[in-house]
Amino acid sequence: MVPIGLPFLFVDGDLVFTTLEIEDWNDLTTPAQIDECKLMLIGKVPSAPSLNLQAFQSTIYLWGPWLFSRHLVIFKPWVPATPLHCYDFSTCAFWVHIYGLPLEWYSDAMISRAVQSVGKVLEVRLDAKEGTSLKSTKARVDIDLSQPLKQGKLIRVVDKLLWLDFRYERLPHFYYSCGKLGHYATYCLDIPDPAASKPTHHVCVSK
């Protein structure tokens, strides 16, 4: 067997290895690194004819968020000259529906303004509802996972107070008392004892 990656020559039919200094790397990998690698998956898309990888990547990234057993799985696009440990997984994009807008405010600008407190607005959609002239309003927003989800927003229009209700698509599990994603009551650092107070943070989930 020829060691992988080792230069070699054939001299008169005999295999002769070039003289190289061999470094011993056996002690450079820790058990923790091995355990981390065991949690990784390496994939390939075998296809003939070849798959449009750019479209495939866009589908994975734009059609999220992805859930496995109600757990959030975050995908990020490749960033040049960036090691894996430098990727930022502290945010994730969710579709947020806005209810309560007056009809004259159904525009990209007003929807963006309505949800700007939720996070960074990436995209706005105004979709006509089937069989009606009304439109559904939603925005794709990059949300900071360390912050509680916003329930909505109270706004003043002339002499009226209006409540804009936010409803989120495809939410993973979250703790209602603190409003944060990614953990249940037993793992909450903000409200560790669920019996200490009743849930006060309610978030609507859009089907």
Domain of residue 113: give its range.
91-206
Helix or strand or coil: residue 9? strand
Q: So what's the pLDDT on residue 57?
A: 76
Helix or strand or coil: residue 92? strand
| Residue 108: inside a domain | yes
Q: So what's the pLDDT on residue 55?
A: 80
| Residue 197: inside a domain | yes
Distance, CA of 116 to CA of 127 (rounded, Å): 20
| Residue 122: inside a domain | yes
Q: What is the pLDDT of residues 124-155, one digit of tens each?
A: 998 776 655 566 789 999 999 989 999 999 99
- pTM: predicted TM-score of the whole model, two decimal places: 0.68
Q: So what's the pLDDT on residue 43?
A: 72
Number of domains forming the structure of the chain: 1
| Residue 5: inside a domain | no
| Residue 142: inside a domain | yes
Q: So what's the pLDDT on residue 205?
A: 55
Distance, CA of 100 to CA of 63 (rounded, Å): 26
Cis peptide before 102 (omega within 30 of 0): no
| Residue 165: inside a domain | yes
Residues in the chain: 207
| Residue 190: inside a domain | yes
Mean pLDDT by 10 residues, the chain (207 residues): 54 59 74 81 69 77 81 83 87 93 89 94 83 75 92 90 93 80 77 54 53
**Structure token pair of residue 96:** 């947020």
Q: Which of 81, 77, 86 is nearest to 122 (CA)?
A: 77
Q: So what's the pLDDT on residue 30?
A: 81
Q: So what's the pLDDT on residue 157?
A: 86
Q: Which of 125, 126, 122, 177 is nearest to 149 (CA)?
A: 177
| Residue 28: inside a domain | no
